[in-house]
Structure 1
Amino acid sequence: MKRVRYPAEFKAEAVKQVTERGHRVVDVAKRLGMSDKSLYLWVRLAKEQSNTGGAETSQLKAEVSRLKAELKRANEERDILKKAATYFAKLSG
């Protein structure tokens, strides 16, 4: 049996018909002239990918908040050092 390679746009549209429009996998596969097993696989992979994306997003948000806190601390330290430099410059001058 010959393997058919489908373009990414075709896969995305087929998955969208199942996930967003609520059509049954068997009906969509029959209408598109493809194996329902392939479409089940594509739908499962799309769901796994969307779940992974959520975890990545929360990790990125945590990293951004950590970096913001680090930047705030560095700016405060810089401001203290500037004030100290001007104070000691006045004493020596």
Structure 2
Amino acid sequence: MEGVMRNKYPQEFKDEAVRQVINNGYAIKDVANRLGITDKSLYNWVSKAKKTPKQNEESDEIKRLKAELKRDTQERDILKEAAAFFASESRKDTRS
């Protein structure tokens, strides 16, 4: 992409442009024209903004499920040990 000048917009600028589309319901094309940016850039910013909360929710859900699985695995291991202990104790009682 040599020779192509890429604009670097401040995050506040991007956030405001995305807010105009998401919160105010303006068309991407209209906002892009008004702000002097490409439709494609704004479309990408909006897409990224829409994905982030869902990804965060999914990430939180994965963390919660992993913690639950760890706890359940520990409980299962404890129950296995207890069952083995009581089975061996039961065998001792029947031998006497």
On whether the aligned pair clears a TM of 0.5, the verdict is yes
Question: What is the alpha-carbon root mean square deviation over aligned residues?
Answer: 2.6
Q: What is the CA distance between 1:59 and its match in structure 2?
A: 3.3
Q: Name the counterpart of 1:43.
A: 46
Equivalent of residue 52 in structure 1, options 32, 52, 55:
55
In the superposition, the TM-score normalised over structure 2's length comes to: 0.60
- How many angstroms apart in 1 are the aligned matches of 2:25 and 2:12? 19
Count of aligned pairs: 76
Q: Name the counterpart of 2:10.
A: 7
Alignment of 1:1-93 (within 5 A): 1-62=4-65
Q: What is the CA distance between 1:57 and its match in structure 2?
A: 2.7
In the superposition, the TM-score normalised over structure 1's length comes to: 0.61
Unpaired runs of 5+ residues, structure 1, are: 74-93
Q: Percent identity?
A: 39
Amino acid at match of 1:57: D
Amino acid at match of 1:33: G
- How many angstroms apart in 2 are the aligned matches of 1:68 and 1:10? 45
